[in-house]
Structure 1
């Protein structure tokens, strides 16, 4: 049996719709929007939305996955183009912050209130913490960082990332997400530098 392949146009159109959906959700949130309103805003039919997902809830979850997948590609490309342990961690955390910068307060509130989307965010936070742990371990191995407990440092980063996601950092400090990630990168790398 031959594998089913989609025409390039279908894949491109699907990506364009998800990109537009993510832009809409980041800007305005999603809890208040109906499928009819989403279709109108994206200038497509409701049946087109059903090709992306079977329900509004599944559409929100799929858009959240799309957002984090795209953000991860951007972050990893930035890290790959950077040299030096400190610079790589700074690039990683700063780019995470920049990727989240367009997220409105409404989007973050809706995300926190909708368990499937919140779960995607939490999973990505755990993945990011593991990635920071890898970057720290690489820096320790090259003697760019002092011999620190990489898992502890990553756990510390994950805790702060969750507080950023929940807008606690913004409420307590006034820092927006991008600035909070830059500060986290500066404090972390200065604290573990050899």
Structure 2
């Protein structure tokens, strides 16, 4: 049987990698709190033993799937960002790619993340990393003379705050924008605010 590497975790068989992708799809569409392992086994046409090979409990499985989602999303975002040479387009590409990556994540998924501390910790860690990345992209743009002199840390803190509000659903409740639209608006606001 072939194996598929999963960074920082044991090797996965092709079937396990497929199940992880299927779990991600289900969780993004419907959330994960309401499922039992039995529900998931029936849904994915596998045994609970097969799921236990991925994680020792439903909670650990949820964390693994959430990490899997963010790992894949990060790779897609970075691949899209790498296609841009211009600092302004790179910042926009990054935030728009984040918006695209989060588009499949339903309100149920975000709600379950918010009420599940280990999942929320994964989300907040990834948000902090994304904010640091935005800060670095802005610093590159300032150094290249494309952006006016700004304090990258302050801009990153502002971006982090909004990203966390978007993830918690606060922005959707306050504005009616879904997460992807909110990220697109953030990209436009940020770019117009720091461009020369």
Q: Measure how far apart 1:14 and its partner are.
A: 2.2
Determine if the alignment matches structure 1 residue 7 to structure 2 residue 2: yes
SS in 1 for 2:53: helix
Q: Measure how far apart 1:12 and its partner are.
A: 2.7
The TM-score, its normalising length taken from structure 2, stands at: 0.93
- Aligned pairs for 1:1-194 within 5 A: 7-8=2-3, 10-194=12-196
Contiguous gaps of at least 5 residues in structure 2: 5-11
Root-mean-square deviation over aligned CA pairs: 1.2
Distance 1:77 1:11 in 2: 25
Distance 2:45 2:2 in 1: 21
Contiguous gaps of at least 5 residues in structure 1: 1-5
The TM-score, its normalising length taken from structure 1, stands at: 0.94
Greater RCO, 1 or 2 (C-alpha within 8 Å, sep 6+): 1
Post-superposition, which runs of at least 4 consecutive aligned residues in structure 1 deviate over 6 A?
A: none
Distance 2:182 2:67 in 1: 23
